Structure 1
Amino acid sequence: MTPPLVKLKVPGTTKEASRVRYELSNPKLLIAGIALTLAAVASVEFLPARTLELTAPGLANGPYLNTSDGNQANAAVKWVNVKDKHLRCHYATAAANYLGCGLTYVLNGADPSLGRDLSGFDTMELDLAYKGPSAFVRVALRNFDPRFSKAEDNNSSRFHSINLRPRDIQRPVELELSELTVPEWWVGQYNLAREYNRPGFENVTALSIDLPVVQAGEEHELQLRRVTLKGHWVKRDKVYLGILCAWMFGALLMVLNGWAQLRRSHLRQQREIDALTARTRQLRVEQEKLRRLATIDELTGVLNRRGLEQSLEDFEDSARGMTLVTLDIDHFKHINDRHGHDCGDEVLRRVAAVVAANLRASDVFGRWGGEEFLIAGQGTRLREATRLAQKLCDRIEESEITVSGHRIAVTASFGVALAPPGGSTADALKRADEALYRAKEAGRNRVEMDKTLEGTPTTI
């Protein structure tokens, strides 16, 4: 009979470690953070858009007709119905270089340098109708920039425009404000530094809907029904940046708090351990003897070779046969050489934990020696044991093993063999090892099955 294993328990250590682990991964805080994140994302993606209808009464001055000479009484450009913002243009002769045809809303008040900040909007919804031979209808915004714009020169406000084809506006169209660009003619006319030619809508003073080119003798009709700006109440990029910063700040607080608690716990445990050192000295020799006789592997916490041999003897006595699966960690020597033996020990512990978590309650699992492990199961279903080995092979490959901040890729090779009722366990172990060797020869990270008894009724 194997003598019982003597364990030394440091008072308060297990309880303290559990408390620290709980505080480091408090599910309530995590759930609250996720809920707040979802609420912030929902506020951006699903709340009604912020809207501004520029053609609404009282919001802007106008509309004013665009004519060749600025004369609102110009007979060539006149209202068909001013209430419906419906105008007609017909120049009998080209009396000027510029034949204006369109309308303008003025967004500034008494101070011509103060317009409306439209930078918080993303899109513009246009509902307008056009009849005539023009190839394009132009939509334009002017933005007053105090760095170069002058109140006495309306054209000095930066011009942004987009030309729409008549077929584009047969129904209401939604434009991204980013589609409005600064045209080359304006850039060339004012010859400003490059940074002044970048689009900007933080101080818009006018909105124009007109025809970029009008020829004498042509007749055009234009009707503007509605111009609506749409955008988010809070910029999407700012919300997501805020979410990211909040999570990073929360993670930092958790790390600092966890470090402080672990340090306090460590100091407390160290004092307790020091107090017990004198009491444990006389037990060490006896404890080492008991540990060598014990059936548990000290490093991994699973059965050691002695424990496995006892379990195999029990399976043999039951006369039901057994399946044996041997597994060996691939390139384990390379892991030890590159990362050190402490890292190798951690890999052994993690692999043992992954395997143990995916076994059946009736399976026996232990460390056979070095980086080799053995799984034994009662019964003679060889293919079922092979599927289990493949599952374990995949789980080990997918496992996250990080030691001292280094991510270590770990795989294992497997050999599967059958010990039929009354058969030799030693012979089955040999055949499982041969299958394991074939798996390594075939490239590792795979499962090989001993086919000596394959096809018999007991292997199905």
Structure 2
Amino acid sequence: MKPNLSYPSLLTAGIALTLATLAGLELLPARTLDLKAPGVANGPYLVTADGKQDGHNVRWLDEKRLHLRCHYPEAKPFMGCGLTFVLTHQDPTRGMDLSRYDKLNLELVYKGNAPSVRLAARNFDPRFAKVEDANSARFHSVNLRPRDITKPVALELSELTVPEWWIHQYNLDRAYNRPSLENASAVSIDIPYLEAGQTHELEVRRLTLEGQWISHDRVYLGILCSWLLGASLVVLRGWGQLRVSHRRQQREIDALTLRTRQLRIEQEQLRRLATIDELTGVLNRRGLEQALDDLEEQAHGMTLVLVDIDHFKRINDRFGHDRGDEVLRRVAAVVAGNLRASDIFGRWGGEEFLIACRGTRIRDAARLAEKLRERIERSEITGPVGRIELTASFGVALAPPGGSTADALKRADAALYAAKDAGRNRVEMDTSLQSDSPTTVG
């Protein structure tokens, strides 16, 4: 019996439905919450040193426009200046779930010479927060410089972090110090650094939260699962039809064989482009180049260590390529087992390996190279005619922040050749950034 719907029509319908879903997702208006709107939050209340709402030091210039002025003639232990929106109502332990929002649209007008204006949010966590201690609600904040707020700002809520002073003050377990706004009790805008005699004016023109009604990630996952389910149903349907007709089964098997052959060809192409060296299991040259490019873009600086197995050709000629491969694997394992998780390591080519250490302490990298040299020398590899004597030479060079990785590689290579010329099984450190000659370590 012929199916009512053909595969092309199902595919067309699936594509149309997917495009309609994606278009609808983009056209769906954002979820918004205006904290200045009546009834959303209590307040805002002025943040003052004496707790009074209309004091001399902090007072409203125009309360309706949320325009305030701060001036402390004399220094006080606490010189508060700002305003707070309270998100709790009758129950002080129950606030608003702000985790559903992604960003906060902020428009401020500030006059003064403070180094920053702070946006902060409190989250009441009943596991440790107490109603009688307002500071016990987890504090999140971000400091905005005056030049950051000369125009409207769209802040990602992920920019709000828990400051160190709050973490040290309450000394809670690390799990309690993670940012969370699932039960936000207050949002405040204040000037954290005041000096006596200064005058500051602050006006809050916009304070709006924005987020998605439906998580885009969930929609994308749903689309992917739907396509996978649809593909699975199509495959099952195909297998059912194969059982009805031997001819159709044979054609499908031939098509499957052809597709398998194509997949193998594609797999081999992907394998050649992969970043893992099949023999040693560490990064290959392509993977190393990608990692080095990433480090160079970060401009933090790094130290490069080139490792070359001494007399590797002699090992291959005397013991065979299988033993030579075992030597490569053993050296890779020894080096990888003595590196930090943050270090980058891979096979640069042939019998040569490369280590990239984050940071610019070249002597630390040289000491690491010396330790690796000793571990390699003590490695036990037995060949058909006895123990294989295994040593390696090392060249160490510095790539300073903003410097060229290619230049550092050339200097590391020159240091490696210096180690080879000096008798092998040694570490040479390039110091051309300070002098003209390599330095031996160990």
| TM > 0.5 fold call | yes
3-state SS of paired residue (1:122): strand
The aligned counterpart of 2:214 is: 234
The aligned counterpart of 1:285 is: none
Note the C-alpha offset of 1:197.
1.6
Task: Pick the aligned partner of 2:105 from 81, 101, 125.
Answer: 125
Give CA deviations for 1:386-406 in whole Å, capped at 9, x if unaligned: xxxxxxxxxxxxxx9433785
Equivalent pair of 1:44/1:232 in contact (CA under 8 Å): no
> Matched residue pairs, number?
265
Task: Pick the aligned partner of 1:213 from 177, 193, 196.
Answer: 193
The aligned counterpart of 2:75 is: 94
Give CA deviations for 1:141-163 in whole Å, capped at 9, x if unaligned: 11112222222222111111111
Cα 1:115/1:215, change in 2 over 3 Å? same
Map 1:258-273 → 2, pairs under 5 A: 258-266=238-246
Task: Pick the aligned partner of 1:165 from 140, 145, 155.
Answer: 145
The 1-side partners of 2:49 and 2:122 are apart by 19
Give CA deviations for 1:286-325 in whole Å, capped at 9, x if unaligned: xxxxxxxxxxxxxxxxxxxxxxxxxxxxxxxxxxxxxxxx
Amino acid at match of 2:207: V
Give CA deviations for 1:387-442 in whole Å, capped at 9, x if unaligned: xxxxxxxxxxxxx94337852369xxxxxxxxxxxxxxxxxxxxxxxxxxxxxxxx
Equivalent pair of 1:50/1:231 in contact (CA under 8 Å): yes
The 2-side partners of 1:404 and 1:203 are apart by 56
3-state SS of paired residue (1:41): helix
Equivalent pair of 1:158/1:182 in contact (CA under 8 Å): yes
Give CA deviations for 1:153-192 in whole Å, capped at 9, x if unaligned: 2211111111111111112111111111111111111122
Larger radius of gyration: 1
The aligned counterpart of 1:8 is: none
The 2-side partners of 1:201 and 1:263 are apart by 57
Are 1:26 and 2:10 an aligned pair? Answer: no
Equivalent pair of 1:104/1:208 in contact (CA under 8 Å): yes
Map 1:171-250 → 2, pairs under 5 A: 171-250=151-230
Are 1:407 and 2:387 an aligned pair? Answer: no
Are 1:36 and 2:17 an aligned pair? Answer: yes
Amino acid at match of 1:244: L
Give unpaired runs (5+ residues) of structure 2.
268-442
The aligned counterpart of 1:437 is: none
Give CA deviations for 1:120-148 in whole Å, capped at 9, x if unaligned: 21111111111111010000111112222
The aligned counterpart of 1:75 is: 56
Note the C-alpha offset of 1:110.
0.7
3-state SS of paired residue (2:118): strand
The 2-side partners of 1:177 and 1:213 are apart by 23
Note the C-alpha offset of 1:45.
2.4
3-state SS of paired residue (1:118): coil
The 1-side partners of 2:157 and 2:56 are apart by 34
Give CA deviations for 1:234-272 in whole Å, capped at 9, x if unaligned: 111111111111111111222222222322334x989xx
Amino acid at match of 1:57: P
The 1-side partners of 2:182 and 2:266 are apart by 52
Give CA deviations for 1:316-343 in whole Å, capped at 9, x if unaligned: xxxxxxxxxxxxxxxxxxxxxxxxxxx9
Cα 1:227/1:217, change in 2 over 3 Å? same
The 2-side partners of 1:187 and 1:57 are apart by 34
The aligned counterpart of 1:115 is: 95
Give CA deviations for 1:65-86 in whole Å, capped at 9, x if unaligned: 0012323243211111111111
Cα 1:406/1:90, change in 2 over 3 Å? closer
Amino acid at match of 1:47: L
Task: Pick the aligned partner of 2:122 from 137, 142, 164.
Answer: 142
Q: Which has the higher contact order (CA 8 A, sep 6+)?
A: 1
Counting aligned pairs with the same residue, the percent is: 59
The aligned counterpart of 2:408 is: none
The 1-side partners of 2:259 and 2:265 are apart by 6
The 2-side partners of 1:137 and 1:118 are apart by 21
Give unpaired runs (5+ residues) of structure 1.
1-15, 271-342, 351-399, 411-460
3-state SS of paired residue (1:403): helix
